[in-house]
Amino acid sequence: MINSVGCVGRRTERYFWEYSPYSFSASFTKWKQRIALIILNQPLDKDYLHILWSKALLTACADGAANHLYNVTSGESDIFRPDYISGDFDSITPEVRDFYANKGSRLIETSDQDLTDYTKCLVIMVEEIQQRNLQVDAIVTLGGLAGRFDQTMATVETLHHALSMTQLPLFVIQETNLAFLLKPGNHTIRVNTGLEGDWCSLIPVGGPCQTTTTGLKWNLNNQVLQFGKLVSTSNTYESTSPGQPRKCVTVTTDQPLLWSMGILRGL
């Protein structure tokens, strides 16, 4: 089992990110890493779900996500009961809604038409974390990067809103994709867990980003990333000598910059 470290030092704006699909169980006692978990209305990966759920101090479904949760956890529904389900309840089936309500999940109706189900779910989550003083290291979201194209873009919009809502990092995972919005400043991303896929990417969604990187195969040297000019996709990690661990990736940006990477599934 590989240890997982997700550690954020706010003053120095350094993020160490190690992600292992199995690491949450390994790190349970040693590192005491805890998360808050949001599930969105997309097909659910059972492997991710089990591991992330065991680390979660708070769990939530955005509307129809509850249908997916119900379907993949039949027989284990006492364990996989979300703390709350939020949304306008136009996707969740009445059966699933009543099932979880009877099990004690709170149903929180959020009818604000200007915000997506995901953003509204996140607003509630941030409030709960604060009110209950939960010691979580990150908020992890399952789903949101596939399916309806406008919903994928809405996920990215929620990541932008999150920058002003919470200091906690917000990771989005679906299939073998992981996305994380880097706020302006310096970032260090550890990519030597062996669980990274073979691609990574820096995408200036929202506007131009003056960017410098190290640790990538194709680094940026104080260059502007901007749609229509330069976007970094199908990038990968700097090669290392045999037996040497990969160096961290560092990224400096002056505007919010979307980092995405492939992650391995089912080791």
Stretch that binds a second copy, among 36-44, 55-63, 131-139, 252-260 (CB under 8 A): 252-260
Closest CB 139 distance from a second copy, rounded Å: 18
Determine if 110 is a binding residue for a second copy (CB under 8 A): no
- Among 193, 213, 114, 197, which residue's Cα sits nearest to residue 161? 114
3-state SS track over 161-229: HHHHHCCCCEEEEECCEEEEEECCEEEEECCCCCCEEEEEEEECCCCCEEEEEECECCCCCCEEEECCC
User: What Å distances lie between residue 193 and 16, 187, 214, 248, CA to CA?
Assistant: 12, 18, 18, 11
* In the complex, least distance from residue 258 CB atom to a second copy, rounded to whole angstroms: 8
101 binds a second copy (CB under 8 A): no
Instruction: Closer to a second copy by CB, 24 or 180: give it.
Output: 180
Q: Is 233 in the site for a second copy (CB under 8 A)?
A: yes
Min dist. Cβ of residue 164 to a second copy (A): 8
- Considering the complex, state which of residue 139 and residue 261 has its C-beta at the smaller distance from a second copy: 261
- Tell me the three state secondary structure of residue 108: strand
Strand 185-189 to strand 106-109: parallel, antiparallel, or no bridges (unpaired)?
unpaired
Mask 191-210, x = binds a second copy (CB under 8 A)? --------xxx-xxxxxx--
Q: Which is nearer to a second copy, 192 or 255 (CB)?
A: 255
Among 186, 210, 226, 250, binds a second copy (CB under 8 A): 226
Closest approach of Cβ 157 to a second copy, in Å? 4
> Positive or negative CA dihedral for 1, 53, 140, 234?
positive
User: Among residues 124 and 202, whose Cβ is nearest to a second copy?
Assistant: 202
Q: Is 262 in the site for a second copy (CB under 8 A)?
A: yes
Site string for a second copy, 43-82 (x = CB under 8 A): ----------------------------------------
Rounded to whole angstroms, the Cα distance separating 159 from 182 reads 9
Which residue's structure tokens are 């954020």?
8
**Segment 10-49, which members bind a second copy (CB under 8 A)?**
none
CA distance 251 to 186: 6
Q: How many residues bind a second copy (CB under 8 A)?
A: 42
The whole-angstrom distance between residue 101's C-alpha and the CA centroid of its chain comes to 26
Q: Which residue has the tokens 């509850």?
A: 66
Burial 88-97 (b: 16+ CB within 10 A, else e): ebeebeeebb
Footprint on residues 129-168 left by a second copy (CB under 8 A): 145-154, 156-157, 160-161, 163-164
Interface positions with a second copy (CB under 8 A): 113, 116, 145-154, 156-157, 160-161, 163-164, 176-177, 179, 199-201, 203-208, 218, 226-228, 231, 233-235, 256, 258, 260, 262
